[in-house]
Structure formats: C-alpha cells, structure tokens
Amino acid sequence: MDGNTGLSPVLDQRVRREQYRLLSNHLPVVLPGSLLIAVLLAWGFWNTADHTAILVWLSLLVAVITARLGLASYFSRLPERPEADHLLRNTLLLGSFISGCIWGSAGILFFDPENAYGFALLVIVLGGLVAGSLGSHSYYFPNFPLFAIPEFLPLMGGLLAVENDFYTLIGLMMALFLMLNLFYSKKYADMIERSIRLQFANDALLERLKASNRELHEYSYTDSLTGIGNRRQFDLDFDQTWQVAETTEAPVCLILMDVDHFKEYNDTYGHPQGDEVLKSLALVLLNVCEEQKVRGRPMRIGGEEFALLLKGDLDLAIDIAETIRESVRKMKIDRGEEHRVTASFGVARAQPARGGSRGALLDAADKALYKAKAAGRDRVIADRKSGAGKHG
C-alpha cells in the first residue's frame, strides 16, 4: 500500500508526503466540524442516556481532537525527510483510528432498541460521518478504513445482536453501506495518487522543457567553438545597447578585431591549430574585459573576426583595444617568434541620441579596421570622425 513496484522510491516518497499534507490540511476543518456534531449528538441523548457517560465520551473526543490538531501541525512543520514523513503518517493514522473508536463507542453507549428516536439519530450521525469523511479521509487510503470501520462496527454488531428482523435488516444495510464507502474510498485515493503523480510528472517535464529552452538559447546565441557570443548574440546586444544609449544619451563604441594572416596560418598549420588560436583569442578578450571591468562582452561575429560593444568615450575604447592587441601578441602558441599571432583593430564611436545609426557605426569601425590592415596590421586605428581619440 505504501509503494508501487517499478516506480522511483524518491517519487513514491514525494507522493506520500503530498498525501499526508493533504490529510493534515483538512484536519482544521474536519475535526472542529465533527466536534460540533458530537455536541449535538450529546444534546440529543441528554435526556435518555447517562450524563456521566455522555460527558466522559465528549471529553475524550475533545482531548483526541485537540491532540490530533496539535500533533499534525507540529509534525507537518518538520523538515522534509523520511523520518518526519513516517511520524506524520503514524500520527494521522493513529488519530483517525482512535477517533473512529470513540465515535464507535457511541453505538454501544447510546443504542437502546426501545428508543426509536435515539436509534434513528445514531444511524443518521454515524452514517453521515462515514459518508462525510469519505473525501477528506481518503487522500491516503489506509486512513479512511481506520476511521470508518471502528466507527461503524459497534452499532452494526448491536443491531445484528438484537433478535429483531428490522434491526437485522438495518445492520446488513449498514454493512453494505460501509463496504461501498470503502470501495469508493479506495477509488478516490487511487485517483488522488494518480493526480499527484501526474502533477509531479508535469512539473518535471516543465523543468526539462525550461532546461532544453535554455540550452537551445545557449546553442543559438553562443559560438560553439570559442564559447563566447556569436553574430546573433552580437545583433541582439547591439539593439539593446543602442536603445539604452538613446535613452541615456551615452555614446556607443564598437571595437572590431581581425586576426592577421589567419588564412595563411590555417594553411600552414591546419584548421585544428587555427581553432586553438581562436579559442585562445576568445579567452584573451574575456580576461581583458574582466580586468578592465568592461561593461560589455566579446563576440565572434565571423571566421576570425571579433567584436566588442562599449558605452563610453572613444579614448576608453582605444585603450581597451590596445590592451587586447598587446595581450594577443603575448599569447603562447608554440610556433616560434616568426609565427606570432597578431590582430588588427578598428574602433569607432556613435551617439544614438544625436541621430547616429547602427549601420554608420559598423561601417566606420569596419573602415578603421581596413585601414589598420592596410597600414601594416597589428595596430589599432580609430575613426576620427566618430569621436576624438588620442591614438591613431
């Protein structure tokens, strides 16, 4: 009853914990309601039954209900672990059984074959309690029979013991009523368990879907070779940076970097070695950005072309480009001094709030990069028309 073969023990434990939680959550409503019914039942028998027996019976029920509420509240607040779940389950089951026994004792204390009024009241109350507790006590199936069976058996036994065909018939009908309730309680408990499992499965599926979406986003916007942003990420960052700059009236700078003689390097040493160079370049860019506290991230926007967007003056962008250039020259690639990797840089600035355009900024940086290549490579050239700078 506590587990299903072939299912994950961890999932089983989570399902049981949820069933116990549902049972606990209904106690603050169910138990005070049952106490009110008990008071009305005692009032109904006040003139026909022994007062001491009524008061003792009612006091026991009050004590048990109070204890059940307190213990269920305490155990439900314990950390989620198997030991706490076990304690909560035992508390719930034991509480239901004791309550069922106390209610069942009413069938012994108050049943009088000569009192048709009292008999009708007992049948209505005890039968109504069984039927009414079907939903609230069936979140975990053992809970319902532990309450319903001891609650019904004493009165049923008393009816069948009376040598009266009418009472015998009522006793048999009560037995059938109890069996039907047990049957539907099991069906209801199974339905609840399936619903909980389905909910957990849906939650797990949703988490996997979110993880897949994150991975898909990462694959779509990350360069698979270097691990930094690709052209799609660059375009997205460009749009966002531009929109913010239009609002804040801040200038936007663009650094374009292209590896010098990269085709010849690939042809000489092979594409795998060329890929290692690109990975090292990406690492250099990331390190410089971290050291210089650059509010931007490098992107690989082409085969051997990289880009970096910055907010700020052209002088700052040129300084950062120079730092990157020097760091590239210091890279160790184990090919000797004559095959040292270098890069050329084009830097430009635009002011979106003053009518600048993204296309013009890209074009200016690209032209500056072309000039750096034409001037002998391994240098930084800034577009002077885009903003003042101290390097050329």
Q: What is the tens place of the pLDDT at every residue in 27-85?
A: 998 999 999 999 999 999 999 889 999 999 999 999 999 999 998 888 777 787 888 88
Q: Which residues are catalytic?
A: 304
Widest distance between CA atoms in the chain:
119
Q: What is the pLDDT of residues 234-280, one digit of tens each?
A: 999 999 999 988 888 889 999 999 999 999 888 888 899 999 999 99
Residue 5's pLDDT is 42
Question: Quick one: what percent of the chain has pLDDT higher than 70?
Answer: 95
Pairing type for strands 299-300 and 305-311 reads antiparallel
pTM above 0.75, yes or no: no
Residue 329 to residue 391: CA distance in whole angstroms: 19
Residue 95: how many CB atoms within 10 A of its CB?
23
What is the phi-psi region of residue 357: left when phi exceeds 0, alpha when psi lies from -120 to 50, beta otherwise?
beta
First to last CA, the chain: 81
CATH number of 231-386: 3.30.70.270
List, run by run, the mean pLDDT of 10-residue segments along the chain (392 residues): 54 87 89 93 92 94 94 80 86 94 93 89 93 90 95 92 90 94 94 90 86 79 90 91 89 95 89 92 93 88 94 91 94 65 95 88 95 95 64 38
Tell me what the pLDDT averaged over the chain comes to: 88
